[in-house]
Structure 1
């Protein structure tokens, strides 16, 4: 959130610099220019810290928590409670169900998030095109707006979100088909496919570099938890039915 605020602040300052007359108001111009430089450096630092520290720690803890839940081994000091809603005891079947549950929630939340993201990017893009074709628009302003539009926070984020949704939807279908098949749960092929599904899920989230919206999650949690209970019943696998703690 802090990184996003810094990004939009830098974007606003980059436009403000173009609107200030340097000759008429040099002091204001210098203040805005310095503020813009500081915001750019702050945005760069925040991005590096997120990628090399926070994201890595979060990814490692998430995988450790997942494996802890699947094999009932406390690999971390504070494992999550009520997050994985299955009462199966066989480790690899439990792991497969957890991957399926994660995929269900992730793809559903991403679909909801993409509604807003597509509208936002489309609006920015239309405004930019209008400005680009309007002859009186300053070329420097067009360049600045283009830099903001095609940055990591807008178009790049939307593309990565679409890519992750597609990957998780395919994974959900594959994992559902695997759990629905007559494949013995203690067989080597079943176990290998479950581990491969877990790797696909985690590497996809890591490569996309996105955080799901907590607000959307809270809104959809009850409905998705109810849907998960129905899916578990269809597969003949027990679910804990925990809705409010997911």
Structure 2
């Protein structure tokens, strides 16, 4: 039992995942309702009922999705940042308990903070790479359908409007772009972290510490500004593989960095 990983902060992200699942289903239901409204235009009573359902579902989707992004996710990320500082500097800043979330031997210091965020960057990159595969397919599929409908001259303009609304006003494309930006940012930061620690070796002076803090702030700013909820399912799926990759990085880079 002592060797098992403990992370009470994960419960906050689990809640985000659960509510986000509800948001996704509301999104799908809103699409179904919008098409149902279009194809039931000849049946007055059914069309009116479906319009009401569509409005209710759309409002619920907006409320729930914004609740996730503006409150639940920010709170979970804030808890994670507090723990990052607690672990990096050996100071208990809250009552959360974590064990084996970070696996770095450096003593409490700016160096440990940098190494911890280096590890976070690796995991963020690998998870966003996997998430982006699905988001690309989904977004490109919607755009392709929209393009086909536009090219078919006999397509009803109302139907094109429904698909266009789905693509451009529900955050579908925006969320994909944010995910890609976070992936690209994490990739760049990973390279910069590696280069910094490789060139610093054991000579960790104030200049190196300042550069470490700069990279740390850039990473946290990217995560906060993009507001991307990293999939817990993908994280746990990749955990052992990425952990092994991180252990290899540590052996190659941090043997002389203390």
TM-score for the superposition, normalised by structure 1: 0.89
Q: CA deviation at 1:182?
A: 2.7
Structure-2 residue corresponding to 1:66: 84
List runs of 5+ in structure 2 lacking aligned partners.
1-20
Shift of 1:85: 1.3
Distance 1:152 1:103, change over 3 A: farther
Partner of residue 18, structure 1: 38
- Aligned counterparts of 1:52 and 1:155: Cα–Cα separation in 2: 19
Query: C-alpha offsets along residues 76-105 of structure 1, whole Å, 9 cap, x if unaligned?
Result: 111322111112114111111111111111
Deviation readout 1:88-136 (Å, 9 max, x if unpaired): 1141111111111111111111112212221222222111111111122
Where does residue 244 of structure 1 map in the other structure?
A: none
State how far apart, in whole Å, the 2-side matches of 1:39 and 1:117 are.
23
Distance 1:45 1:237 in 2: 49
Tell me the residue number matched to 2:26. 6
Equivalent-residue separation in structure 1 for 2:142 and 2:92 (angstroms): 47
Alpha-carbon separation, structure 2, partners of 1:6 and 1:87:
45
Matched, 1:36 2:54: yes
Give distance in 2, aligned partners of 1:237 and 1:61. Answer: 30
Distance 1:185 1:62, change over 3 A: farther
Which of 165, 178, 198 is equivalent to 1:180? Answer: 198
Structure 1 moving runs of 4+ over 3 Å: 183-186
- Give the structure 2 partner of residue 27 of structure 1: 45
Residue among 147, 157, 171 paired with 1:139 = 157
Show the counterpart of 2:247. Answer: 229
Residues 90 and 108, structure 2, Cα contact 8 Å, conserved in 1: no
- Contact 1:17–1:33 (8 Å) recurs in 2: yes
Query: Matches of 1:185 and 1:79 in 2, distance apart?
Result: 33
Count of matched residue positions in the alignment of Structure 1 and Structure 2: 236
Mark the runs of 5 or more structure 1 residues left unpaired by the alignment: 239-246
Distance 2:73 2:232 in 1: 16
Q: CA RMSD in A?
A: 1.8
Q: Is the 8 A contact 2:146 2:160 kept in 1?
A: yes
Moved more, 96-105 or 54-63: 54-63
Distance 1:123 1:51, change over 3 A: closer
Alignment of 1:65-84 (within 5 A): 65-84=83-102
Q: Offset at 1:184?
A: 5.6
In structure 2, the residue matched to 1:242 is none
1:116-168 deviation per Cα after TM superposition (whole angstroms, max 9, x unaligned): 22122222211111111112211011011011112344211111111111111
Question: Residue 151 and residue 138 in structure 1: after superposition, are their counterparts in 2 closer, same or farther (change >3 A)?
Answer: same
CA contact (8 A) 2:73 2:229 kept: no
**TM-score, scaled relative to structure 2:** 0.85
